[in-house]
């Protein structure tokens, strides 16, 4: 990277939150993603729809660096992060939740959240225990309260109910100062009450935090997104405002009408 | 919501005596007062030895219990420290030993051993599970053959003997009672260091890496460096114990770091239990007792004394068979049963 810090800073101010240019990913002969190009503006809330196997989660894995794209470039706030390991991308403000919760089962709820706060700040290798009233410990407490988990604060994650694990999954993605979050089916398996709480959390996020959400439930997706991308067989099929996508006859034929796993 | 408001307890600081569990007071007092009643044989050959082996096994417990990295190289790290003390300090082989004072030789020996352990870790951290065991075992075996075949630095088969604990502050540290207290101090400091670090950001992150390395990377942690740093910390613990080991035995030879002792450390940690730092010390005490008295027991039963390894193996099997977490697991099960109400079967709190 030959860019100076000043150049990076000014680029971060004006550049797109996320920019994909010709991103493809092959698993052997299987094309999971084919030539994906998209631009997400800072603060934009983007829903990614598509049937199973459309390549949505693969797209997320390429953006976070869980694995590299076969070809193409990924820019995060103007910076080319294609070759970066996941932790470098996270430290630049990217966050992500997983479709199947990836939590720390041997640790308590508060320790899980504390780790998430610690991961994006200094002192990851500190041997000194945090003091009472430590700023980072306090922000972990606040996050636990924000996702309504304060009553199970000290319980081992392995003992939590499914819905609580999903809430913790979201808390981990909100730690630190997130700038762009990838939510991978956050509503899957939640009760109607929990869904309402989730929508409240998502719509209540500060305006400067953009996100991308994979959601099968159209009701949730269209309420929390300002723009929608439809994927099909590893390619972008349609992109537009929620109502455009909803009313598009091609989309209805492909997804809303024919889909077995869709929302309503 | 509680109907009766319980007044909030006064916040306890880390130095408040109330915070220390009764068990610590009892065990601590018993260990400190032990020299009043015990013979020098019991002090050095049972307790000092158990505490040294326990500390080495503690370094394995730290890696395996908090990091899910079963390293068979911990005994070798201790052995490297032992060899370096003999090489930098003084031994009977004065063509090899440099004869430097202990306060130069010991820190240098620990430094070399930590470097060795960290490098071994760096080789092992990209592997998981059985492959970590294999690669660390390979390093341990390679080091064993190196010291056995190299005569210019390690004096080959016979090793280095007449390595003595130093004399300072007017105390002769090789005599039983001071050496016992030295071992106790090292074991206690290592134990509390591991307990403390397990709740520090570094220790918590290590447990996060154990539970879910992929998510740790997705939270901003460099998982590889975290694992290597864990090896460095564990190596420090093992290295300090290695210095005591060479002082206790008075010598170090290839047999000290052979594959057998490396596996003994694993057995000690597993038999004691790797879910809490106290486990390795329980395992080490059981191991030392069996090593010391198995021969006498067998002879008294009219069996051949050289079969003492069989008795150790049987003891190991019995503990592992009845508990998935060694002696700690047995203790936990006993406690749970004692707390259970005989009528309802419910477990009482506290």
Residue A85, pLDDT above cutoff 60: yes
Q: Give the residue ranges of chain B where pLDDT is below 70.
A: 1-20, 305, 341-350
Q: Residue B54 domain-assigned?
A: yes
Whether residue B274 lies inside any domain: the answer is: no
Backbone angles phi and psi of A16, in degrees to 5: -65, 150
Asked if B202 lies within 8 A of A127 by C-beta distance, the reply is yes
Instruction: Decide if B199 and A129 are in contact by the 8 Å CB cutoff.
Output: yes
Q: pLDDT tens digits, residue range A207-263?
A: 889 999 998 877 788 888 989 998 888 888 888 888 888 888 887 777 655 444 443
Check residue B343 and give its pLDDT. 66
CB atoms within 10 A of CB B28: 13
Contact B197, B233 (CB under 8 A): yes
Residue B294 within any structural domain of the chain: no
Instruction: Encode burial over A39-56: b for 16+ CB neighbours within 10 A, e otherwise.
Output: ebebbbbbbbbbbeebbb
The pLDDT score that the predictor gives to residue B3 is 47
B104, part of any domain: yes
With cut-offs at 50, 70 and 90, classify the pLDDT of residue A7: low
Residue A91 near chain B (CB below 8 Å): yes
B140 lies in a domain?
yes
Complex ipTM, two decimals? 0.80
Domain membership flag for residue B2: no
**What domain range includes position B178?**
38-257
> How much is the average pLDDT of A9-18?
70
- The CA distance from A234 to the nearest CA of chain B, in Å, is 24
Smallest CA–CA distance, residue A251 to chain B, in Å, is 33
Residue B247 domain flag: yes
Residue range A110-136, pLDDT digits in tens? 999 999 998 888 888 888 888 777 888
Chain B residues in contact with A90 by the CB 8 A cut-off are 217-220
Which two tokens mark A138?
Answer: 């306090």
Q: Output the six-digit token pair for B262.
A: 């490396």
Distance (Å) from the alpha carbon of A45 to chain B's nearest alpha carbon: 21
Q: Where are the domains of chain A?
A: 100-177
Q: Report the residue of chain B nearest A120, measured CA to CA.
A: B220
**Total count of domains within chain B:** 1
Q: How far apart are CA A158 and CA A95, in angstroms?
A: 23
Considering the domain boundaries, does residue B279 fall inside one? no
A76: closest CA among A225, A174, A221, A178? Answer: A178
Give the residue from A255, A258, A206, A198 showing the smallest Cα distance to A224: A198
Q: Which one-letter DSSP state was computed for residue B175? A: S
Q: What pLDDT score does A259 carry?
A: 45
Cβ of A98 within 8 Å of Cβ of B215? The answer is yes
Task: With beta carbons less than 8 A apart as the criterion, state whether B242 and B87 touch.
Answer: no
- Give the H/E segment covering residue A146: helix A135-146
Kind and range of the H or E run holding A95? strand A94-96
Residue of B68, B126, B215, B227 to mutate for A, most A C-beta atoms under 10 A? B215
What pLDDT is recorded for position A147?
85
Residues of chain B contacting residue A104, judged by C-beta atoms under 8 Å apart: 207-208, 211-212, 215
Rounded distance between C-alpha atoms, residue A52 and residue A55, angstroms: 8
């Amino acid at each position: 990277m030959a860019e100076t810090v000043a150049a990076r800073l000014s680029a971060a101010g004006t550049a797109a939150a996320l920019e994909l240019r010709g991103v493809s990913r092959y698993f052997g002969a299987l094309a999971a993603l084919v030539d994906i190009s998209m631009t997400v503006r800072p603060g934009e809330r983007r829903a990614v729809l598509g049937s199973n196997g459309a390549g949505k989660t693969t797209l997320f894995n390429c953006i976070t660096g869980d694995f590299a794209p076969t070809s193409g470039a990924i820019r995060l706030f103007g910076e080319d992060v294609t070759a970066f390991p996941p932790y470098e991308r996270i430290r630049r403000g990217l966050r992500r939740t997983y479709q199947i919760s990836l939590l720390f089962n041997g640790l308590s709820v508060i320790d899980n959240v504390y780790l998430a706060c610690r991961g994006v700040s200094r002192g990851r290798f500190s041997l000194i225990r945090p003091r009472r009233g430590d700023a980072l410990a306090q922000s972990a407490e606040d996050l636990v309260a924000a996702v309504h988990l304060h009553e199970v604060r000290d319980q081992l994650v392995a003992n939590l109910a499914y819905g609580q694990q999903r809430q913790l999954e979201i808390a981990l993605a909100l730690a630190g100062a997130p700038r762009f979050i990838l939510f991978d089916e956050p509503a899957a398996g939640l009760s109607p009450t929990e869904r309402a709480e989730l929508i409240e959390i998502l719509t209540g996020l500060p305006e400067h935090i953009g996100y991308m959400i994979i959601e099968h439930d159209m009701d949730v997706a269209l309420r929390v997104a300002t723009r929608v991308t439809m994927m099909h067989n590893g390619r972008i099929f349609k992109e537009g405002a929620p109502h455009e996508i909803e009313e598009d006859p091609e989309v209805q034929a492909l997804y809303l009408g024919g889909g077995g796993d869709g929302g309503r | 919501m509680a109907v009766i408001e319980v007044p909030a307890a006064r916040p306890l600081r880390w130095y408040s005596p109330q915070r220390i569990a009764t068990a610590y007071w009892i065990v601590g007092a018993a260990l400190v007062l032990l020299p009043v009643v015990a013979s020098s044989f019991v002090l050095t050959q049972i307790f000092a030895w158990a505490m040294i082996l326990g500390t080495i096994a503690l370094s394995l417990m730290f890696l395996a219990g908090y990091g899910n990295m079963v390293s068979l190289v911990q005994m070798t790290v201790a052995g490297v420290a032992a060899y370096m003390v003999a090489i930098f300090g003084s031994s009977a082989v004065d063509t090899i030993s440099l004869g430097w004072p202990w306060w130069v030789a010991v820190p240098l020996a620990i430094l070399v051993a930590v470097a060795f352990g960290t490098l071994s870790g760096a080789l092992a951290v990209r592997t998981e599970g059985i492959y970590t065991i294999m690669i660390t075992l390979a390093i341990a075996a390679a080091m064993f053959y190196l010291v056995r075949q190299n005569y210019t630095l390690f004096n080959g088969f016979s090793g280095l003997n007449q390595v003595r604990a130093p004399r300072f502050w007017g105390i002769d540290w090789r005599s039983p009672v001071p050496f016992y207290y030295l071992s106790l101090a090292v074991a206690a400091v290592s134990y509390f260091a591991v307990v403390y670090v397990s709740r520090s950001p570094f220790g918590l992150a290590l447990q996060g890496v154990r539970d879910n390395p992929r998510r740790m990377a997705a939270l901003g942690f460099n998982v590889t460096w975290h694992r290597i740093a864990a090896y460095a910390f564990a190596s420090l613990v093992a290295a300090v114990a290695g210095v005591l080991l060479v002082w206790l035995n008075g010598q170090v030879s290839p047999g000290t770091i052979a594959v057998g002792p490396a596996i003994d450390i694993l057995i000690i940690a597993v038999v004691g239990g790797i879910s809490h730092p106290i486990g390795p010390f329980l395992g080490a005490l059981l191991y030392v007792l069996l090593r010391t008295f198995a021969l006498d027991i067998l002879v008294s039963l009219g069996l051949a004394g050289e079969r003492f390894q069989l008795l150790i193996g049987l003891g190991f099997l019995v503990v592992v068979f009845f508990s998935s977490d060694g002696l700690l697991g047995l203790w936990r099960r006993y406690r749970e049963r004692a707390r259970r109400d005989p009528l309802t079967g419910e477990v009482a709190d506290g």
